[in-house]
Structure formats: structure tokens, C-alpha cells
Structure 1
Amino acid sequence: MQQVFIELYNYRPAWTDRPESERTDFAKKIVEAVNGLASAGVEIVAYGMNSPDTDHRAPYDFFCVYRVPNVEFQREFERQIAASGWYDYFEQVNVSGDAKDAEAVLLGNARMVRPVSS
């Protein structure tokens, strides 16, 4: 089943302490990897900056939203992010799960349905 994967992140001191040239080199490697995601069936919905004016704002400055083909791909995607060294430079939390119908999720909330491990 199609998955949605959301990354929320902030800079770590290890990122801000690096020279701009090193940050640029690392960012270019990530851009190259991201550009290859479409051939694996990933839809990049958005990359963006979390507006300071967002109501009940999450304490993260940046976000990425993807649609990925299935949970197996999702888990591999997560492993690749970790292997890239990303978490050394960015404090990040992730949100992922099956893409579902709004009514099904909201009515499930009424029944107190909680997520289960896949």
C-alpha cells in the first residue's frame, strides 16, 4: 500500500559548524539521491520551510513530504537516510504510514483506533 513519509528537521551544530563548501558538497550528494527517487516510484510532494506563523507550529524549521510505493520501500528509504550521514547534521523526526481516506481515519479516531506495527 502507498505510504506517506514526512521528515521534520532542524540544523545540528555539526552542520552549522561546517564550512559552507562542505555543506554544499553534502547537499549536492543529497540532491543527486533525491533526483533518483522518481525512478523508484517516489513522488516528492514538497520540500519547504515551516512558517514561523503556523498555528500550533511543530518545533522544526524544515519539512519534506513524499509518497512512497510501499512499506518495504519506506523502510529501505529510512535506512538509506541513516547511512547517508544525514542524522549527524540534522535533528529530525519522521512521520510515516499508509495513505488512507480522511473519513476512515477520522471515524477511526472516534473509535480510538491506534496505529499498529507493520
Structure 2
Amino acid sequence: MITYIELWKAKQAWIDLSKEERGNYLAALAPAIQQLLESGVQIVSWGNNEASTFSKAEYDYFAVWTFPEIGSVKNFESMVEGAGWYNYFHQVNAMGNAISPQEVMAAMINL
């Protein structure tokens, strides 16, 4: 199981769109998201990055997904890029296999 985390914030190009244009763009993404879910991808959480978060990352929104295998991740990344998402949003991603806290700590110790 692969965990994938996205953090994003709007670029000026997004802000410059009308509300109707923003809504139309996001509505056009719905079928692609549905296809992902039907292929075994899961949405763990989407949300707003709360201003009161300690040591807050400078991004406004987040999404946490799980993917069954790397091929579905690569398909997702291609879909996001192909949809022109990065024209409208500054985004950073994190991805990795879900492992135990002990395994992460061991990796930290063994740097």
C-alpha cells in the first residue's frame, strides 16, 4: 500500500479565474477521481491546512491518498499534470510505502 500526500496553494492564474471557471474546472476532474476510486485508490482525507497548525507548512490544502501499486500512482501523476493542475497551483508531494513507526525510526537511526 502506497501513501501519497499532496499539499497545494493557488497561483495567481487560479485567482484570476472567475468562480464559474473554477467550478467548471473542478467539476471536469470528478470523472477522473471516480475512475481512481473504482481502480482501488482510496481517499484517506482532504482538507484545509489550518492556520493554527504548529510549524505550519505554507500550503493551504492537503490530500492524503492510498494507492494499491506504483502503476496507479504514476497514472494519477500523469492525470494531474495532464489536467493542467500545475498551471493553477503550487504543489509539493510526498509518497512512500506504508510501514510501521518502528521501521521509520530504524531508518532514521541508520542514516
Gaps of 5+ in 1: 113-118
1:83 corresponds to: 82
Letter in 2 for 1:107: A
Q: 1: CA distance between counterparts of 2:106 and 2:8?
A: 30
Amino acid aligned to 1:69: P
Per-residue Cα deviation, 1:37-63 (whole angstroms, up to 9, x for no partner): 211100100110001111111110000
Over the aligned positions, Cα root-mean-square deviation in angstroms equals 0.9
Post-superposition Cα deviations, 1:63-99, rounded to whole Å, max 9, x if no partner, equal 0100001112111211110001111111101111111
State how many pairs are aligned. Answer: 111
TM-score between both structures, scaled by the size of structure 1: 0.90
Structure 2 runs not aligned, ≥5 long: none
Runs of 4+ in 1 over 3 A off after TM superposition: none
Please report the TM-score for the alignment, with normalisation by the length of structure 2: 0.95
**Counterparts in 2 of 1:30-41, with a 5 A limit?**
30-41=29-40
The 5 Å alignment of 1:1-118 reads 2-112=1-111
Greater share of helix residues, 1 or 2?
2
